[in-house]
Amino acid sequence: MTILQVILNVAVLLVFVGILYTMNKKHVKFSNRVFAGLGFGIALGLALQLIYGIDSEVLAESMPWYNIIGTGYVKLLQMIAMPLVFISILIAFTKMTIGKNFGKMAALILAILIGTTAISAAVGIFSATVFDLDATEIMQGDAEAARGEYIEEKTTGLAAPNLPTQIIELFPANPFLDLTGARSTSTIAVVIFAAFLGFSYLRIARKDETTAATIKKGLDAIYALIMGVVTIVLRLTPYGILAIMARTVATSDFGAIYNLGKFVLASYVALIIVFAIHLLIITLSGLNPITYVKKAAETLLFAFTSRSSAGTLPLNIKTQTGRLGVPDGIANFSASFGISIGQNGCAGVYPAMLAIMIAPTVGINPLDPVFIITVIAVVAISSFGVAGVGGGATFAAILVLSALDLPVALAGILISVEPLIDMGRTALNVSGSMTAGVATARVTKELDTKVYNNQSAGAHVSDL
């Protein structure tokens, strides 16, 4: 009977896949198909849990089949992430105007990314304080305890013993190893390696235009090839979201989610406040924030549902250049840097909130000004090299909590609500990188304001 039930569950999933495929054939907008996949996944997950129960053997045997689509989709995003970061940084150099603006552009992007992460940490601390979050009050189940033990074990080798060592770990001693994503800091290492190659290209361009043109032609061809792969993978998003949400909802402990409801609410309050700060930056740049929201909405929705900053990279770049009027070079830099440096949600709000929650468990006053300043500083510094695909927030939390000498195992209590919060965090990460691109282009006077203000400018995500 169990086998038949598993077959039935898989068949129902395939029916929904068929519906999404039919919607694609009928040219339904991409964002609508993603929303449909999200809705179908939630409905299917709820039905499975209500029928079988969270501890059901049928559910346990059905989920691996769902993972073929859901986890398979995530692995494809991971597959394209590193090549895309590498080639996007290189392409950014080939599309930059060689001159004084280069240093100013890079400095502004990094300043906005890191600065907004520090602000995000402060907002996270504020929200955790207002909601009176305290890890000692939260019940731990078996799954959470096991996750805590795993995180504690994972800490070994991840947390650098001191800041200088942590900085040294960012450098690519073996760039080919880092291109495989073998290290926790591989993403930033690849960015650094690509930047060195980019500077080498600029030197060649000054001395030998013919050779530079040949290099640029080759890089453009590779970029086109990789973007073709990216487009294929992104078209699978509605199906991936369907399977991921079905599995997440079906296996979620709603009792634990209810107990952690205050943390979820506090997290989203903090995320919304930081998003409002992004809009304030856009406004202070002399631009209409409502226009930004309208044009960035589809990309932010994709980030929200896919939970992958790296997977959103091509849409991020396309939206900045095609819809917001940001030059290619600035868009490539801000988008690529944004998935490894200064992620406002995963590396800013989240670890800061955890630090404030966990501090009382070891006798530290979370409202101590020195402790608060230390948390903000550590969060800003630790925001370098946070991976943009799955697990980035956990890695950031491990670094921050370890640096503050706080017990990292307690982060395991949040396992039940991780997917729910991670959606909002990822959207905020992407918004942060887009804000950095738009604001930098505006300050350097390279923003095409006609494109920015043109409501019909640029391709939509639905063109995928």
CA distances from 235 to 20, 30, 388 (A): 11, 8, 19
Query: Is 90 exceeded by the pLDDT of residue 282?
Result: yes
CATH of domain 99-236+253-458: 1.10.3860.10
What was the pLDDT predicted at 419?
74
The phi and psi torsions of 341 (rounded to 5 degrees) equal -130, 130
Name which residue leads in pLDDT, 170 or 115: 115
**Residue given tokens 């090549």 in the structure block:** 83
The C-alpha atoms of residue 250 and residue 41 are separated, in whole angstroms, by 9
- pLDDT for 267 equals 93
Nearest to 109 by CA among 407, 317, 352, 341: 341
Name the residue type at position 23: M
The HSE-up count of residue 131 (CA atoms within 13 Å, CB side) is 25
pLDDT of residue 135: 73
3, pLDDT greater than 80 = yes
Higher pLDDT, 234 or 411: 234
DSSP assignment of 259-297? HTHHHHHHHHHHHHHHHHHHHHHHHHTTS-HHHHHHHHH
pLDDT digit string, tens, across residues 290-326: 999 999 998 898 888 777 887 788 889 889 988 999 9
The residue among 410 and 18 whose pLDDT is bigger is 18
Helices (H) and strands (E) in the chain, counts: 20, 0
pLDDT at res. 148: 53
Average confidence (pLDDT) over 387-404: 68
Task: Read off the pLDDT of each residue in 2-20 and give the average, rounded to a whole number.
Answer: 92
Among 1-10, 164-173, 211-220, the range with the most confident prediction by mean pLDDT is: 211-220
Cα dist. 175→36, 192, 194, 216, 341 in Å?
40, 9, 9, 21, 18
Please check the confidence at residue 342 and state whether its pLDDT lies above 80. no
pLDDT of residue 462: 47
pLDDT band at 341 (very low <50, low <70, confident <90, very high): confident
More confident call, 77 vs 216: 216
Q: What is the pLDDT of residues 48-99, one digit of tens each?
A: 998 888 888 888 899 999 999 988 988 888 788 788 888 888 887 887 655 4
Phi and psi dihedrals of 293, rounded to 5? -60, -45
Per-residue pLDDT, 397 = 76
Q: What is the pLDDT of residue 147?
A: 53
Q: pLDDT for 319-336, tens place per residue?
A: 998 899 998 888 888 888
**φ/ψ of residue 389, rounded to 5:** -130, 115
Distance, first Cα to last Cα, the chain = 42
Determine how many CB atoms are found less than 10 A away from the CB of residue 102.
Answer: 18
Give the chain's mean pLDDT.
83
Residue 317, pLDDT score:
87
Q: Tell me which of 14-18, 402-406, 414-418 is least confident.
A: 414-418
What is the average pLDDT across 181-191? 76
Q: Could you tell me which of 153, 43, 147 has the C-alpha nearest to residue 416?
A: 147
Give the span between the Cα atoms of 170 and 165, in whole angstroms: 9
Q: Where are the alpha helices (DSSP H) in 95-133?
A: 101-130
- Domain positions in the chain: 99-236+253-458
Give, as one character, the DSSP assignment of residue 327: -
pLDDT of residue 56: 85
pLDDT for the residue 10 = 92
Q: What is the mean pLDDT of residues 92-114?
A: 78
- Give the residue, 278 or 363, on which the prediction is more confident: 278
Share of the chain above pLDDT 90, in %: 33
Give me the long-range contacts of 220-228 (CB less than 8 A, separation at least 24).
220/91, 220/94, 222/87, 223/87, 223/88, 223/91, 226/80, 226/83, 226/84, 226/87, 227/314
Per DSSP, the three-state class of 384 is strand
With pLDDT > 70 as the criterion, what percentage of the chain qualifies?
Answer: 84
Strand segments (E) across 7-95: none
Residue 143 in this model has a pLDDT that exceeds 80? no
